[in-house]
């Protein structure tokens, strides 16, 4: 599984020489509606799930019910004879091990989905159950059975800087606590999967993926066929959040079943499979000792941290987050358990590091009796274009009317306690590598092709905006084409890299197309190419003629302009800063927290589309409200089987659970484009937890903030009523 890491680059690049972003843009940084909003809202958009091919079969995967077992025998004879079955694919060989519930064992393709479901139940598998580990506590026991090769725990190297002993000596107060966050799954609205169709040795796959090119390579490698024999199409996708970078096991199974059956095969997972086997955000634990001086300056930070990314996968995260501890030490260990493996998930590691650090920050602020924002301002890094928190905290405070905040513990009578909290976030979000192709037709229409995909960015919309901006034409003349590996290369949509990779490529490519147009038509306008400009749907020669865009394009005769271009430096940057504040109500007689309001101050360099940027931020915040309150992958502590692999007990906010959200976007046009998918999803949970602390006077150091934890903390603090 290839993952796109946080990509970092210059905070403010040297301006692009040939095609810098316009100083007075017409479309950029305005509100433009998502071009494909209507087809999505009306159900006309065809997702991988919706693809229907002639003679298409439906496939289902048989998965291990055991968290750890050896396959003793696998008998597919009955399934092969079952009604409607066209192909059966044993996936595990006899003697191989499965290491989590949901691990793939075999698969079936049949004429209907129901027949495939019935048929996988006819596959007879004999398992030899092996000792399993259901949670980190079990793995960390000295007497734990050795389940994973090389050990159940992998201890990392210590990260150290400064003089820890001196730091604690300088501390007026020391806080020591343990914090933790839960495992959550990506819970994509569209589950993972694809439709595979072979034409001879050519494979076409309609995949729900956030990387059409990466998935093409993935198929080629796993099937041992040339990359040129694979085409991956993703016109629309229903969410990935970091979990959809390749064909995955089910993609390879789908392709092999299609080959075996000689027919197209549809293999989209169900919700249970989605929770069990398609990735998750690792848990995080941190035992921390931190010191603060009487003046409110942080002095020392000593942390032992651990977490689980499931069966043999890591659980790293940044800590401490953003704030400056001059003397620090941290040792992390990855703890393995028999559960599905982690995958990158919306700002990998940051929500964990943010939660732990920001809750600690409020506890330290109380020790020195300082306002949490004032305390943070003292301990933030120096301000820079990619480190703007000192400017943003006061704006967030103004937006949420911070001055009404009472000290920790709402003194108001009655069971409903109100509180405010804050937290900051950061992310890289640089781009690179994208290529594009542009054609200007003699009728004035423009096609722009790019092998990227839309994971939620509004990619088609920003491609069309930048094209229209560069050519000085209305957007409806532009046809953006994305989501096909036959289009020019673009990387996976991860690490918030899409906008910062694609936007410069489109700017350069359409700039080159414009120059090529000028070169072709300049003689007919009686001017030199460098005397031509475009704006307002017109081409003008300096001191000479002005013609409409359409008339200018007619001068091309029958031969369109066709140019290729790619990402170049000078149009994108790295590093975002954001601050969020939360307002909550906690019912101290039931332990139920309701989030009333979130405010968000966020930058992302040059804003391409103000509207899709804002809706990206809404989505991030809502996902982090879920992280704060609701989402939790719960494994039975005895069997290591997931008890809530559904949308019933795996809770996700509905409309009535989503607070009012106010977003203030800080445009930084001089920096160029920076991605925004990740950062808003980082700090909401920390801000909510701090608001709950402010409301109730008790600190919950564990996510999610379920009623049992709130009531238990209140009980420890002296009862509720």
Partner 1 sequence: LKAFAYVNAANEREALAGLDAQRGRVMPIAGGMDLLGLMKNYIAQPERLVNVKNLDATIQASATAGVRIGAATKLIELIEHQGIAKNYPALVTAAEEVGTPQIRNAGTVGGNIMQRPRCWYFRNEEFHCLKKGGARCFAVEGENQYHAIFGGGPCHIVHPSSLAVPLIAYGAKFRVVGPSGERDIDAGEFFQLPADNLMGETVLKPNELLTHVILPASTSMKGATYEVRFKQSHDWPLAMASVVMTMDGNRVKSARVVMGAVAPIPWRTEAAEKVLAGKTITEAVAVEAATAAVAGAEPMTQNSYKVQVARTAVKRAIMRAAGLQTV
C-alpha dist (Å) from residue 275 to 325, 380, 395, 432: 37, 38, 39, 32
Question: What's the closest the beta carbon of residue 580 comes to partner 1, in angstroms?
Answer: 21
Q: Which phi and psi (to 5°) does residue 682 adopt?
A: -90, -50
3-class SS of residue 346: coil
Nearest residue (CB) to partner 1, 612 versus 706: 706
H or E segment and range at residue 109? strand 104-110
Nearest residue (CB) to partner 1, 558 versus 721: 721
Question: What's the closest the beta carbon of residue 618 comes to partner 1, in angstroms?
Answer: 17
Nearest residue (CB) to partner 1, 629 versus 691: 629
Question: What's the closest the beta carbon of residue 324 comes to partner 1, in angstroms?
Answer: 37
Say if residues 266 and 51 touch (Cβ distance below 8 Å). Answer: yes
Which of 560, 599, 556, 607 lies closest to 579 in space, CA to CA? 599
Nearest residue (CB) to partner 1, 573 versus 625: 625
Token readout for 400 is 């949420």
Rounded Cα–Cα distance for residues 37 and 43 (Å): 10
Angle between helices 707-716 and 684-696 (to 10 degrees): 40
Nearest residue (CB) to partner 1, 118 versus 678: 118
Question: What's the closest the beta carbon of residue 643 comes to partner 1, in angstroms?
Answer: 4
Question: What's the closest the beta carbon of residue 121 comes to partner 1, in angstroms?
Answer: 8
Question: What's the closest the beta carbon of residue 651 comes to partner 1, in angstroms?
Answer: 6
Nearest residue (CB) to partner 1, 23 versus 648: 648
Nearest residue (CB) to partner 1, 112 versus 146: 112
Nearest residue (CB) to partner 1, 149 versus 648: 648
Rg value, the chain, Cα: 28
3-class SS of residue 487: coil
Question: What's the closest the beta carbon of residue 170 comes to partner 1, in angstroms?
Answer: 41
Say if residues 435 and 450 touch (Cβ distance below 8 Å). Answer: yes
- DSSP letter for 102, please: T
Can you give the binding site for partner 1, defined by CB under 8 A? 65, 101, 114, 117-118, 121, 414-416, 587, 589-592, 594, 629-630, 634, 636-639, 641-646, 648-649, 651, 653-657, 706-708, 711-712, 720-721
Question: What's the closest the beta carbon of residue 172 comes to partner 1, in angstroms?
Answer: 36
Residues near 170 by Cβ (< 8 Å), separated by ≥ 6?
291, 293, 299, 300
Say if residues 66 and 97 touch (Cβ distance below 8 Å). Answer: no
Question: What's the closest the beta carbon of residue 409 comes to partner 1, in angstroms?
Answer: 18
Nearest residue (CB) to partner 1, 440 versus 703: 703
Q: Which phi and psi (to 5°) does residue 165 adopt?
A: -60, -45
Token readout for 91 is 């996936």
3-class SS of residue 220: helix
Token readout for 127 is 């398992």
Nearest residue (CB) to partner 1, 384 versus 643: 643
C-alpha dist (Å) from residue 563 to 232, 311, 447, 560: 23, 48, 11, 10
**What is the length of the chain?**
721
| Pairing of β 561-566 and β 435-440 | antiparallel
Question: What's the closest the beta carbon of residue 416 comes to partner 1, in angstroms?
Answer: 5
Say if residues 429 and 675 touch (Cβ distance below 8 Å). Answer: yes
């Amino acid at each position: 599984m290839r993952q796109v890491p946080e990509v970092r680059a210059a905070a403010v690049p040297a301006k692009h020489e040939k095609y810098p972003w316009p100083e007075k843009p017409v479309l950029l940084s305005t509100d433009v509606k998502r071009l494909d909003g209507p087809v999505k809202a009306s159900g006309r958009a065809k997702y991988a799930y919706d693809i229907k091919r002639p003679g298409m079969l439906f496939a289902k995967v048989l998965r291990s019910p055991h968290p750890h077992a050896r396959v003793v025998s696998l008998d597919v004879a009955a399934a092969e004879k079952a009604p409607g079955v066209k192909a059966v694919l044993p996936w595990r060989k006899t003697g191989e091990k499965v290491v989590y519930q949901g691990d793939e064992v075999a698969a079936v393709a049949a004429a209907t989905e129901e027949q495939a479901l019935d048929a996988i139940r006819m596959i007879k598998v004999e398992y030899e159950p092996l000792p399993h580990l259901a949670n980190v506590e079990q793995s960390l026991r000295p007497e734990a059975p050795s389940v994973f090769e090389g050990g159940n725990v992998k201890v990392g190297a210590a990260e150290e800087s400064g003089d820890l002993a001196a730091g604690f000596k300088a501390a007026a107060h020391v806080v020591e606590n343990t914090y933790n966050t839960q495992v959550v799954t990506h819970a994509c609205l569209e589950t993972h999967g694809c439709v595979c169709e072979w034409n001879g040795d050519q494979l076409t796959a309609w995949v729900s993926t956030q990387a059409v090119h990466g998935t093409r390579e993935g198929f080629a490698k796993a099937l041992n066929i040339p990359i040129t024999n694979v085409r991956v199409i993703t016109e629309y996708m229903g969410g990935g959040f970091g979990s959809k970078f390749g064909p995955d096991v089910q993609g390879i199974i789908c392709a092999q079943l299609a080959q075996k059956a000689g027919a197209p095969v549809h293999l989209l997972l169900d919700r249970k499979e989605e929770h069990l086997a398609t990735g998750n955000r690792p848990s995080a634990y941190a035992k921390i000792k931190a010191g603060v001086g009487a003046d409110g300056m942080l002095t020392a930070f000593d942390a032992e941290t651990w977490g689980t990314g499931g069966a043999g996968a890591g659980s790293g995260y940044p800590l401490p987050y953003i704030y400056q501890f001059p003397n620090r030490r941290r040792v992390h260990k990855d703890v393995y358990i028999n559960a599905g493996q982690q995958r990158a998930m919306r700002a990998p590691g940051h929500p964990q590091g943010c939660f732990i650090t920001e809750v600690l920050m409020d506890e330290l602020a109380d020790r020195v009796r300082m306002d949490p924002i004032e305390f943070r301002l003292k301990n933030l890094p120096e301000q820079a274009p990619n480190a703007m928190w000192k400017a943003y905290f006061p704006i967030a405070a103004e937006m949420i009317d911070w001055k009404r905040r009472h000290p920790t513990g709402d003194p108001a009578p009655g069971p409903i306690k109100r509180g405010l909290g804050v937290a900051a976030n950061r992310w890289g979000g640089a781009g690179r590598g994208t290529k594009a192709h542009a054609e200007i037709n003699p009728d004035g229409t423009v096609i722009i092709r790019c092998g990227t995909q839309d994971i939620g960015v509004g990619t088609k919309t920003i491609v069309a905006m930048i094209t229209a901006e560069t050519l000085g034409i209305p957007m409806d003349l532009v046809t953006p084409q994305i989501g096909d590996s036959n289009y020019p290369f673009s990387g996976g949509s991860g690490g918030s890299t899409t906008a910062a990779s694609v936007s410069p490529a489109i700017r350069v490519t359409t700039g080159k197309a414009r120059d090529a147009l000028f070169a072709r038509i300049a003689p007919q306008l009686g001017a030199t190419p460098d005397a031509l400009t475009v704006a307002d749907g017109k081409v003008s020669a300096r001191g000479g003629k002005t013609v409409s865009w359409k008339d200018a394009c007619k001068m091309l005769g029958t031969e369109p302009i066709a140019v290729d271009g790619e990402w170049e430096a000078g149009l994108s940057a790295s590093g975002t800063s954001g601050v969020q504040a939360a307002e909550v109500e906690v019912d101290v007689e039931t332990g139920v927290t309701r989030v009333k309001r979130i405010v968000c101050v966020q930058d992302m360099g040059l804003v391409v589309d103000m509207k899709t940027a804002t809706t990206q931020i809404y989505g991030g915040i809502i996902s982090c409200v879920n992280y704060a309150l609701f989402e939790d992958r719960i494994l039975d502590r005895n069997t290591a089987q997931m008890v809530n692999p559904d949308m019933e007990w795996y809770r996700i906010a509905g409309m009535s659970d989503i607070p009012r959200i106010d977003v203030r976007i800080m445009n930084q046009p001089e920096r160029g484009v920076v991605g925004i998918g990740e950062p808003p999803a980082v700090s909401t949970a920390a801000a909510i937890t701090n608001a709950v602390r402010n409301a109730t006077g008790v600190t919950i150091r564990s996510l999610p903030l379920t009623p049992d934890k709130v009531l238990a903390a209140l009980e420890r603090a002296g009862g509720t009523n």
